[in-house]
């Protein structure tokens, strides 16, 4: 296995960079959790740290908050060294996964906690708390005990409690994972709207790739302590840097192709490519495969469209889109997602554009 290129995939330093994470290393005992992570977070950005459990995403967040100490590297915030400041003096606030509301304080006192800790003028506190509660639509619950609130309401209070301090960066540790699916979608929309409204930089940790794509300006995908790719949702989906990214973000077909003279071959499939190396892995999204209708034009001679016949092994109805399992022969199978064509069976002709087959780095095969 070759080393994933942690440094090389880091985004170039942006001029509007607010938070700068530089070659950060963290070990628990002898077990490395983060191995040289570098990334820049822009002011006002919604950055999602995406990864499966154990990828180090929560550890990275806890390092920024100051709950863990670095074993290497530096964290800077607008030209100031952040990692040497104790957590209670950092200009960042956290929304915890389990909300961590103080059970002995009511909603108002929970939200006022940070203001009181920072000795904000007593006369100013009620106004700012009221504003924050209003922002998350929880004004009428100011006197309630957190224990009496539903999960979604506790979530809102936790947001207000963090945002009332006007942090430079808001850290959110899987804040929606405890909510049921419907509430979760609703909170996603509200969260995104809230972030636009307050203009505060959000760093959002999740293992849910759909959530990441729905919310983020950029996604940083972590994999066992390495930064696999950092890019906007459309780019990370459309141009995944590695086979891992392609599989983790959405579904994909991985085609192990033999490239010769600008032509890639995988089983009976062949298409034009600009790749020059011999063995290349391509990612082909299921929705890029189309059913060829009798009305379709003839296949162009330049292999810019790959056409093939395939047997339908399985068809799963999915409402607007059906999922097809295709057998193309030569033990090459594909998954296709196409607008509901009615029930299909037997052999049909399919096609995809050569430009939709994206060459990806694949450390397992090399």
Partner 1 sequence: MYSRAYKSAVTIPPLLWVTAFLLVPYALLFCCSFWSVSPQQTIIHNWNLQNYLQLIRNPIYLSVLFRSMRIAGAVTLLALLLGYPLAYFLSFHAAKRKDLLYQLVIIPLWASYLVRGYAWKTILGSDGVLNGLLQYLHITRHPVEFFLYSPFAVVLTLTHIYTPFTFLPIYASLEHVPRNLVEASHDLGASPWSTFRRVILPLSLPGVLAGATFAFVLTLGDFLAPLLVGGASGIMISNIVVSLFGAAYNWPLGAAISLCMLLLVLSLLFATERLERKLTLS
Residues in contact with partner 1 by the rule CB under 8 A: 65-67, 86-89, 92-94, 96, 98, 100-104, 113-114, 117-118, 145, 161-162, 165
Nearer to partner 1, 68 or 362 (CB): 68
Minimal distance, residue 276 CB to partner 1, in Å: 51
Residue closer to partner 1, measured from CB, 110 or 242: 110
Q: Which CB sits closer to partner 1, 169 or 334?
A: 169
Give the separation between CA 116 and CA 135, rounded to whole angstroms. Answer: 20
- CB of 200 within 8 A of CB of 170? yes
305-316: strand order across its sheet: 290-291, 347-353, 305-316, 321-327, 333-339
By beta-carbon proximity to partner 1, the closer residue of 148 and 309 is: 148
Q: Which is nearer to partner 1, 5 or 198 (CB)?
A: 198
CA 317 to chain centre: 27
Tell me whether residue 15 or residue 119 sits nearer to partner 1 (CB atom). 119
Closest approach of partner 1 to the CB of residue 114, in Å: 4
Least Å from the CB of residue 115 to partner 1: 9
Smallest gap from Cβ 87 to partner 1, in A, equals: 4
Query: How far is residue 364's CA from residue 362's CA, in Å, rounded to a whole number?
Result: 6
Smallest gap from residue 90 Cβ to partner 1 (A): 8
- The residue (of 205 and 310) whose beta carbon lies closer to partner 1 is 205
Least separation in angstroms between residue 190's CB and partner 1 is 22
Exposure string of 224-247, with b = 16+ CB inside 10 Å and e = fewer, is bbbbbbbbebeebbbbbbbbbbbe
Give CA separation, 126 vs 95, 108, 119, 145, 148, in Å: 21, 9, 13, 17, 22
Least distance in angstroms from the C-beta of 94 to partner 1: 5
Beta strands in the chain (DSSP E): 17-28, 31-42, 46-50, 72-77, 80-81, 92-95, 169-173, 201-206, 218-223, 226-231, 253-260, 263-266, 269-272, 279-284, 290-291, 305-316, 321-327, 333-339, 347-353, 358-360
Triad 303, 308, 314: Cα angle to 5°: 145
């Amino acid at each position: 296995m070759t080393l994933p290129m942690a440094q090389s995939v880091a985004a170039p330093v942006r001029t509007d960079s607010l938070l700068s994470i530089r070659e950060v290393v963290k070990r628990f005992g002898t077990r490395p959790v983060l191995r040289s992570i570098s990334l820049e977070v822009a002011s006002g950005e919604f950055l999602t740290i995406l990864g499966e459990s154990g990828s180090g995403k929560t550890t990275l967040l806890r390092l920024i908050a100051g709950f863990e100490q670095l074993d290497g590297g530096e964290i800077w915030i607008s030209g100031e060294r952040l990692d040497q400041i104790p957590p209670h003096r950092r200009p960042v606030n956290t929304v915890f996964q389990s909300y961590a509301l103080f059970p002995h304080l009511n909603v108002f006192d929970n939200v006022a906690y940070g203001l009181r800790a920072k000795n904000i003028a007593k006369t100013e506190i009620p106004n700012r708390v009221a504003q924050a509660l209003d922002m998350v639509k929880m004004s009428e619950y100011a006197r309630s005990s957190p224990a009496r609130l539903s999960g979604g309401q506790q979530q809102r209070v936790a947001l207000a409690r963090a945002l009332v301090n006007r942090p430079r960066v808001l850290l959110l540790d899987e804040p929606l994972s405890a909510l049921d699916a419907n509430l979760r979608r609703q909170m996603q929309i509200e969260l995104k709207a809230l972030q636009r409204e307050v203009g505060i930089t959000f760093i959002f940790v999740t293992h849910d790739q759909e959530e990441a794509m729905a919310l983020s300006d950029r996604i940083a995908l972590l994999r066992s302590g390495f930064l696999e790719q950092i890019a906007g949702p459309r780019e990370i989906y459309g141009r995944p840097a590695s086979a891992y990214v392609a599989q983790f973000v959405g579904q994909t077909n991985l085609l192990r192709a033999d490239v010769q003279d600008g032509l890639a071959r995988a089983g009976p499939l062949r298409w034009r490519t600009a790749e020059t190396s011999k063995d290349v892995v391509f990612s082909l999204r299921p929705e890029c495969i189309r059913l060829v209708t009798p009305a379709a034009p003839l296949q162009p001679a330049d292999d810019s469209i790959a056409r093939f016949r395939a047997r339908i092994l399985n068809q799963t109805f999915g409402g607007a889109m059906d999922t097809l399992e295709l057998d193309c022969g030569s033990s090459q199978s594909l998954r296709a997602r196409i607008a509901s064509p009615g029930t299909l069976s037997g052999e049909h002709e399919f096609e995809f554009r050569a430009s939709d087959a994206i060459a990806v780095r694949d450390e397992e095969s090399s």
